[in-house]
């Protein structure tokens, strides 16, 4: 007899399993249909011994001290500041767009102050900022929008930026200084021995039993439990009663080269050339030393594993119908990227899981990360 059946062993599921077992002494059955824990953040050593992320590059960054403190109980960290370059007009330039990007692209020698004036001269202010196109064009104008954003977004989402919520590109800043870090969060680091090692420590508790290669449908009627934490797709849970929530998927192609390093930075974006969106060289992220190096190419596609909830108002409206159903279903808690159909980063999912845990435990959020 279990107190909780936790469906999905990603960030959401492992955080809740750990908290329920360790802080409330609950008996937990953690089930995942994949052959491993870690969800989309799963990493492993490939056949050449290079540490890779099976479901695409995962860079940890957060402004939440709670989340960082909580995860630090299960891992040491490798300090890492993420850098990305974009292949535009036949050359590699920093992205987010900064002073060096513009000077390299246009052969100018603007100062930061002059660049602010340049952006002002090319920006096309829009009355209301509704779509991803509005966000960018109103900041840097049509030409830079075409060079850096339009093609990338169309490949990534299969939609024009004018059809996507502002939230998608609102994540990408534009800078007038030379800061070429992709993120500016207070905490930026990678789990020292990888994500999977961190998850293994989270769920290594006598109260947690783990069942892999198992869809929860296979066991839901043969195992006794009080409540369910569901981190799979919410529409799947309700048998797609109102229709399918749309997701964007990816195909990953890995390549190992007989050289220690090939890229100047971890990620190269290809906004306009090639079918793939970006190429990631893992050793930049992990700090691993190895004679070989492995890269992954990402090809966006409509079909396949559900990776990205598509941020459009009509999809949010469909989700709200499922959410109302979830609210009216006692004993089942929905959480995580798929469970709440939110385009969340890892830290946001941990924060969401901790908040749910605090609610279940009747604790204040600040108390719930304790040992
Ligand atoms: C390509 C890519 C790159 C990303 N990069 C970053 C990044 O750099 N930084 C960042 O912070 N975030 C990144 N993210 C987001 C990050 O992956 C998520 O925020 C996080 O992994 C979500 O955790 P989760 O537990 O909600 O879901 P998941 O990790 O998806 O876990 C859900 C689990 O539920 C299981 N499951 C589903 N249905 C069932 C079922 N019926 N029965 C049993 N098990 C089931 C699945 O197999 C899965 O393991 C990226 C996402 C993608 C796709």
**Cβ–ligand 1 contact at 250 (below 6 Å):** yes
**pTM attached to this predicted model:** 0.96
Q: Is the distance from CB of 1 to CB of 27 less than 8 angstroms?
A: yes
Nearest CA to ligand 1 atom 17: 40
Burial 153-166 (b: 16+ CB within 10 A, else e): bbbbbebebeebbb
Q: What angle do CA 65, 84, 158 make, to 5 degrees?
A: 100
Q: Which residues contact 240 (CB under 8 A, 6 or more apart)?
A: none
Q: Over its length of 371 residues, how does the chain's per-residue pLDDT go in tens digits?
A: 999 999 999 999 999 999 999 999 999 999 999 999 999 999 999 999 999 999 999 999 999 999 999 999 999 999 999 999 999 999 999 999 999 999 999 999 999 999 999 999 999 998 888 898 999 999 999 999 999 999 999 999 999 989 888 887 776 688 999 999 999 999 999 999 999 999 999 999 999 999 999 999 999 999 999 999 999 999 999 999 999 999 999 999 999 999 999 999 999 999 998 999 999 999 999 999 999 999 999 999 999 999 999 988 999 999 999 999 999 999 999 999 999 999 999 999 999 999 999 999 998 887 787 65
- In the reported structure, the alpha carbon of residue 89 is separated from the centroid of ligand 1 by a whole-number distance in angstroms of 34
Q: What angle do CA 6, 10, 13 make, to 5 degrees?
A: 25
Which strand (E) or helix (H) includes residue 79?
Answer: strand 77-79
**Cβ–ligand 1 contact at 32 (below 6 Å):** yes
- In the reported structure, the alpha carbon of residue 116 is separated from the centroid of ligand 1 by a whole-number distance in angstroms of 38
**Cβ–ligand 1 contact at 58 (below 6 Å):** yes
Atom of ligand 1 nearest to the CA of 55: 1
Q: Is the distance from CB of 37 to CB of 164 less than 8 angstroms?
A: no
Nearest CA to ligand 1 atom 12: 345
Q: Is the distance from CB of 307 to CB of 249 less than 8 angstroms?
A: yes
Q: Is the distance from CB of 253 to CB of 52 less than 8 angstroms?
A: no
């Amino acid at each position: 007899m279990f107190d909780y059946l936790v469906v999905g062993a990603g960030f959401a599921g492992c955080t809740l399993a750990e908290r329920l077992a360790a802080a409330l002494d609950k008996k937990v059955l953690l089930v995942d249909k994949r052959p491993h824990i870690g969800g989309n953040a799963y990493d492993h050593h490939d056949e050449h011994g290079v540490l890779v992320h099976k479901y695409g590059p995962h860079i940890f960054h957060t402004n939440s001290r709670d989340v960082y403190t909580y995860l630090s109980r299960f891992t040491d960290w490798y300090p890492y500041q993420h850098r990305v370059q974009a292949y535009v007009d036949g050359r590699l330039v920093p992205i987010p767009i900064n002073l060096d990007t513009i000077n390299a692209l246009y052969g100018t020698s603007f100062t930061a102050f002059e660049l602010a004036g340049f952006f002002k001269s090319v920006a096309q202010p829009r009355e209301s900022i509704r779509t991803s196109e509005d966000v960018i064009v109103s900041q840097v104008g049509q030409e830079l929008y075409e060079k850096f954003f339009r093609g990338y977004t169309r490949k990534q989402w299969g939609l024009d930026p004018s059809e996507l919520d502002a939230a998608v590109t609102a994540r990408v800043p534009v800078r007038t200084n030379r800061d070429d870090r992709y993120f500016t969060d207070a905490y930026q680091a990678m789990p020292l021995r990888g994500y999977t090692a961190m998850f293994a420590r989270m769920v290594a508790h006598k109260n947690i039993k783990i069942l892999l290669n198992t869809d929860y449908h296979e066991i839901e009627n043969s195992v006794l439990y009080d409540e369910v934490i569901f981190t799979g797709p919410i529409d799947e849970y309700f048998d797609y009663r109102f229709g399918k929530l749309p997701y964007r998927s990816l195909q990953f192609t890995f390549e190992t080269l007989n050289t220690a390093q090939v890229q100047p930075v971890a990620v190269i974006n290809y906004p306009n050339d090639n079918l793939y969106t970006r190429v990631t060289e893992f050793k930049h992220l992990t700090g691993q030393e190895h004679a070989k190096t492995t890269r992954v190419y990402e090809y966006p596609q409509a079909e396949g594993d559900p990776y990205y909830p598509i941020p459009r108002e009509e999809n949010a409206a469909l989700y709200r119908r499922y959410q109302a159903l979830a609210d009216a279903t006692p004993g089942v808690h929905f959480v995580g990227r798929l469970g709440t159909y939110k385009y969340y980063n890892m830290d946001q999912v941990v924060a969401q899981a901790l908040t749910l845990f605090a609610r279940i435990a009747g604790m204040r959020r600040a108390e719930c990360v304790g040992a």
